[in-house]
Amino acid sequence: MTAPTCRSISPRRSQAKRRGDSEQGLLKAAIAVMGDKGVGALTFDEVGRAGGFSRGLASQRFGSKRGLIEAVLAHLYQRQEAKLAKMGIDHLPGLDAMLAYVDFCLRDLSLKGEAQAYLRLLSSAVADASELRSPFAAQHALVERRLEAWVRKGQDEGAIRPEIAPEAAAMMIGCLVFGLSMQWLVDPETDVDAIRETSLATLRLSFGVDDRRPGA
């Protein structure tokens, strides 16, 4: 059998790459529109103009506004997972992983387009009792389980106080990140860096085992 030549397969690869590039461009344009103008402004016309594409292309790729929003959510989740994996967060000690996650989430607010898009989507889904609440709930449940696992790991390592309830701790940490993120969305001038540093110091003090305590 004759091996396929580069000439015979390169057009196919090129077409797939162009499709992938156009979808990424549309997703970035949708994120920019929501970050600047909100979810209500997210239309195929607006996305096409923002990304330099036709309205028809956005409609062809995603089918509906819901399809586009779900694709944006998947894109943002995958982007975050890739960054956390690059940090090696699941290989850190439990307390360090927990603190690194909070630090990452609050630093991520500096990426205003993506952070604003996610938070505005979440706010819209809750306010409108939208069906999109389900994808958000599923993602948040994954985060809570991950946080809970880090707390248990830290307790097994002797770095997190044993009397802390992992489930409640995971919920509290998630609410801390969510609350600070929403405050930043309401007031982008909020000094997130100062709040981030204070939050990390407070969590370390509240969760960590103090070797100086009697019986610790």
The CATH number for 19's domain is 1.10.10
Q: Is 17 exposed, middle or buried (0-12, 13-18, 19+ CB in 10 A)?
A: exposed
Across 163-196, b (16+ Cβ under 10 Å) vs e yields eeebeebbeebbebbeebbeebbeeeeeebeeeb
pLDDT band at residue 42 using 50, 70 and 90 as cut-offs: confident
Same domain, 48 and 80: no
Same domain, 50 and 83: no
pLDDT at 92: 97
- Give the range of the structural domain holding residue 38, as residue numbers without chain letter: 13-63
What residues have CB less than 8 Å from 43, skipping those under 6 apart?
65
pLDDT band at residue 213 using 50, 70 and 90 as cut-offs: very low
Mean pLDDT lowest among 4-8, 112-116, 144-148, 183-187: 4-8
Q: Which of 63, 78, 96 is the last residue of a domain?
A: 63
Nearest one of 139, 146, 167, 138 to 97, comparing CA atoms: 146
- Per-residue pLDDT of 119-151, as tens digits, reads 888 887 777 666 777 778 888 888 999 999 999
Q: Which domain CATH number covers 183?
A: 1.10.357.10
Report the amino acid identity of residue 106: L
Same domain, 46 and 94: no
- Judge whether 126 and 119 are in contact, CB under 8 Å: no
- Per-residue pLDDT of 52-91, as tens digits, reads 887 788 888 888 888 888 888 888 888 888 999 999 999 9
- Cα dihedral 143, 149, 152, 153 in deg (nearest 10): -120
Inside any domain, residue 45: yes
